[in-house]
Structure 1
């Protein structure tokens, strides 16, 4: 898989502010997912390869999200935090309810600041939403958040659980509200959580939307609702788009089109992720 963005950084039309953060990317351990009989293009998506992309695009900070193929093995994320630089890198891990307190502390010391529940695509899901009530109080004590990748319909179904979470919440990929015509019930839940505080949304995964116009409208709507709690991510290496991923620089161009105000992009790229992930606090 070639990442043409490495040689076409001129496609990033707006220079990035110092401290710009890619708040959503995945890295993979080739030893775990590579199979000679069925080559996996994701096996080449390592920390060293991402570092070259990050530098070419002018990004400085990153948040690595443990991908589904690794289930609850967060070692590749912890290792990548060190490779990319612990001062400017954080992680979001995946754990089961039987995780020990010692392991949670180990993950925290290694730069993990949240746990992800990816249930939007049931066939690839390794966690379940009913795991949340037992895990949320434990990670809340560490100052972590739960990161939810859910469809609007799942958000509505899980409203009671979501509203009772003691910890912070981060909705992946615009809460998938751009999947199609706006789900008013899901939007009301997300908006309520945003207004209540402690909830954030990632303006990412635009190619998961029904179309570009819908993605644009939803991104603007979310940013207007809570500009101080929006972050952005590339979703590199765009695993849902394999084997023909988009050029990563285009995701930055999309953000500039969604958010034409430079001061607001500064908040989304720098200030908001610094607060959410504790970049100014050190490990």
Structure 2
């Protein structure tokens, strides 16, 4: 049985600071329309539709210009909704992170590359995706294309995978603050320390921290975000995670303006903000 979840907020607040030109939301999803893009029967949750028009309204409110569309687990390895969203948002302003398995050969990956795909996501938390056992085999295939590998895993899995991730031949992007909760150790958590070692060795991090927090304004995640920024200032990016499918109640759905304000608190220096929102995404995603 799949769990229900609320849709995105009807109203997004304007953040208290202005993002620089070319700023990028490096993590979001599109859901539906379900008549065109039916849900996977193996999904773990069932969200309301979240359209491109709704997303554009939110993005305009918070003042960002570029987007990375991440394939959600509710569609498994059928990447049609994600690749079509890149086309609709504009290939000059959008990229895709897709979900594949070892049944996708290089020709299939090249066809998605032409449509704006530049990375593959492994989601061991939500499931309905690629088994972690395929990490090394797929990474070798991605290296041929110059793609990166994005990983969302439970902290214990990340800790166990540290030596594997350190030797992969592609950039590794750690998703959602490594899945570590601020209230369960935060920076001191062994998995977070493993991620900091990976960051110092060349990995990337997404400063998408509300899932690690007790709630807005997300100040409890500040130490974690700043530790990642210190470890890899030129390899941290940021994303909204719109429309926030991990939440169970409408009142818990984040306000994306508040999320951007949290990033402003984590990275108060304009040069840091420029790196996280513009320069680092441009290098990782090829803008």
TM-score, structure 2 as length reference:
0.87
Q: 2: distance between equivalents of 1:95 and 1:161?
A: 19
Q: 1:243 to 1:104 in 2, by over 3 A?
A: same
Q: 1:204 to 1:138 in 2, by over 3 A?
A: same
Contact 1:177 1:218 in 2 (8 A): no
> Partner of 2:178 in structure 1?
175
SS in 2 for 1:240: coil
Match status 1:5 vs 2:8:
no
Match status 1:234 vs 2:240:
yes
Give 1:120-139 correspondences, 5 Å limit. 120-121=125-126, 124-139=127-142
> Partner of 1:162 in structure 2?
165
Contact 2:26 2:281 in 1 (8 A): yes
Could you list the runs of 5+ residues in structure 1 that have no partner in the other structure? Answer: none
Q: 2: distance between equivalents of 1:4 and 1:76?
A: 22
Counterpart among 201, 204, 211 of residue 207 in structure 1: 211
> Over aligned residues, Cα RMSD in angstroms?
2.1
Could you list the runs of 5+ residues in structure 2 that have no partner in the other structure? Answer: 1-6
**Deviation at residue 100 of structure 1 after TM alignment:** 2.0
Q: 2: distance between equivalents of 1:2 and 1:222?
A: 28
TM-score, structure 1 as length reference:
0.88
Contact 2:8 2:243 in 1 (8 A): no
Contact 2:208 2:238 in 1 (8 A): yes
Q: 2: distance between equivalents of 1:200 and 1:149?
A: 12
**Deviation at residue 41 of structure 1 after TM alignment:** 4.2
> Partner of 1:110 in structure 2?
115
Contact 1:4 1:247 in 2 (8 A): no
> Partner of 1:266 in structure 2?
274
Contact 2:166 2:201 in 1 (8 A): no
SS in 2 for 1:170: strand
Q: 1: distance between equivalents of 2:27 and 2:11?
A: 17
Counterpart among 250, 253, 256 of residue 248 in structure 1: 256
Deviates more, 1:172-181 or 1:93-102: 172-181
- Count matched residues: 269
> Partner of 1:24 in structure 2?
27
